Amino acid sequence: MRPRRFFPAGALKGTIRVPGDKSISHRSIMLGALAVGETRVTGLLEGEDVLATAAAMRAMGAQAERVGDGEWSVHGVGVGTLLQPQAPLDMGNSGTSTRLLMGIVASHPISATFVGDASLSNRPMGRVIDPLSQMGAAFEASEGGRLPLTVRGAYPAVPIEYRLPVASAQVKSAVLLAGLNTPGVTTVIEPVPTRDHSERMLRGFGAELTVEELGGERVIRIRGEAELKPQTIEVPGDPSSAAFFIVAGLIVPGSELTIQNVGLNPTRAGIVEILRKMGGQIEEVNRREVGGEPVADLVVRHSDLQGIAVDPAVAPSMIDEFPALFVAASLAKGRTVTSGLDELRVKESDRLSAMAAALAAAGARVSETEDGLIIDGTGGEPLAGTQAAVTTHLDHRIAMSMAIAGLASRAGVEVDDTRPIATSFPVFEALLDGLAA
């Protein structure tokens, strides 16, 4: 364990640049590994989760090498020609690696065993086992459809039409990636839109993929036995990483900071919209496109935040940002009510109970419901801070959220373990220390 107490350190001032988007980084390595020839990636997030994806693709025959800071070269083997991995694939803490790779393996004539840390081994995989079994893959999973589990791919796999029972980009992507090596057309129907990086990138690599809006649903079709062409990819900055600094700038008095290179894909940008509704001053400058995704620099100023009832419909577009939002709500004036967040209970930790406990320990007024938190904010007064350390449950986003809460507290907030931060945002503490200095 690597504990740390995060103290209030005065106004945050300066300019930072957030590292590459985690979702896009995973996908660039995976699709690069399935293309024939060399894919070059810049701005890749070199966090533990993405490195787990790269190691897995190497174990299945691709070359994926770091050639500079965030610069990677991937030599793909081509769709359909992945090799049998010789050892279990260690997914560490990464649900995205696991679920997307299960999809890739499901339609290849190979088998793979997936293992992970205590957090990942507790997460439900039934949601991908179901559709991939319909496509013909076979699974031996631990109790409750959990890791360790072995996938035996089907060849040829059967194309299916699958309506997502949960709003999950990981499930959608697992089926689309399985569809890549499946004869015919695989269809995913999405009643609620989720992040669309897979669709954008699959098209960029030359897959035949269409998206149609039908009666309020998104119907995504991919033609299998695809031939992917190698690409040059610039990964935009991760809005989920930026969120911690956006909230920090809003809640720490006197702050004014610029966060460069923030991806603002509409399927990801819910946090900016909600914080603005709460009164947050977040200005977008230098709007541009990076790697086919909208990006801007954000100028964030300390703001008097107001509590809000968060419409559950925005949840998918900010699903990873609720821990940070809960911190903002704890400092806002009045009550914030969130609901419809059952999915937060099956993330790297149960984020509703973990954040309720951690914020209460830091002096916030918070109550937990079945599917959300209700928070009565301080109206800008600092939180008391913690005595004992708060528990992060191997969850990077709990650790970073409570670090930010510490900046807006009197006594500081002690986080029991900062190591999980390296899964998604290895330079988080260095950037924070730089701004506070």
Nearest-5° Cα angle at 247, 435 to 267 = 120
Is 23 annotated as a binding-site member?
yes
Nearer to ligand S3P, 302 or 347 (CB): 347
Cβ(339)–Cβ(375) below 8 Å: no
Exactly one of 117, 297, 320, 395 is catalytic; which is it? 320
Burial class of residue 370 (count of CB atoms within 10 Å of its CB; 0-12, 13-18, 19+): exposed
Q: Which residues bind ligand S3P (CB under 6 A)?
A: 23, 96, 168-170, 173, 195, 319-320, 343
Alpha helices in 362-427 (DSSP H): 396-407
Cβ(401)–Cβ(323) below 8 Å: yes
Q: How far is the CB of 23 from ligand S3P (least distance, A)?
A: 3
Nearer to ligand S3P, 50 or 364 (CB): 50
Nearer to ligand S3P, 9 or 141 (CB): 141
Nearer to ligand S3P, 173 or 241 (CB): 173
Nearer to ligand S3P, 169 or 209 (CB): 169
Q: How far is the CB of 343 from ligand S3P (least distance, A)?
A: 6
Q: How far is the CB of 433 from ligand S3P (least distance, A)?
A: 25
Is 330 annotated as a binding-site member?
no
CA atoms of 220 and 213, how far apart (whole Å): 9
- Looking at residue 397, the DSSP 8-state letter turns out to be H
CA atoms of 178 and 311, how far apart (whole Å): 33
CA atoms of 259 and 337, how far apart (whole Å): 28
Instruction: Find, among 97, 35, 23, the residue nearest to 61 by Cα.
Output: 35
Nearer to ligand S3P, 320 or 395 (CB): 320
Tokens 């031996």 correspond to 140
Is 95 annotated as a binding-site member?
yes
Is 304 annotated as a binding-site member?
no
Is 22 annotated as a binding-site member?
yes
Catalytic residue list contains 320: yes
Q: How far is the CB of 194 from ligand S3P (least distance, A)?
A: 6
Q: How far is the CB of 89 from ligand S3P (least distance, A)?
A: 17
Is 241 annotated as a binding-site member?
no
Residue type, 333: K
Please list the residues that pair with 151 across neighbouring strands. 112, 139
Phi, psi of 435 (to 5 degrees): -70, -35
Exposure string for 310-334, b = 16+ CB within 10 A, e = fewer = beeebbbbbbbbbbbbbbbbbbbbe
Nearer to ligand S3P, 102 or 389 (CB): 102
Q: How far is the CB of 166 from ligand S3P (least distance, A)?
A: 8
DSSP per-residue string spanning 45-105: --SHHHHHHHHHHHHTT-EEEEEETTEEEEEEE-TT-PPPPSS-EE-TT-HHHHHHHHHHH
Q: How far is the CB of 420 from ligand S3P (least distance, A)?
A: 13
DSSP per-residue string spanning 420-431: GGGGT-TTHHHH
Is 146 annotated as a binding-site member?
no
Cβ(184)–Cβ(224) below 8 Å: yes
Instruction: Find, among 97, 84, 99, 209, the residue nearest to 153 by Cα.
Output: 84
Give the residue ranges of the annotated binding site for phosphoenolpyruvate.
22, 95, 123, 170, 351, 397
Residues carrying an active site annotation: 320
Give the residue ranges of the annotated binding site for 3-phosphoshikimate.
22-23, 27, 168, 170, 320, 347
Give the residue ranges of the annotated binding site.
22-23, 27, 95, 123, 168, 170, 320, 347, 351, 397
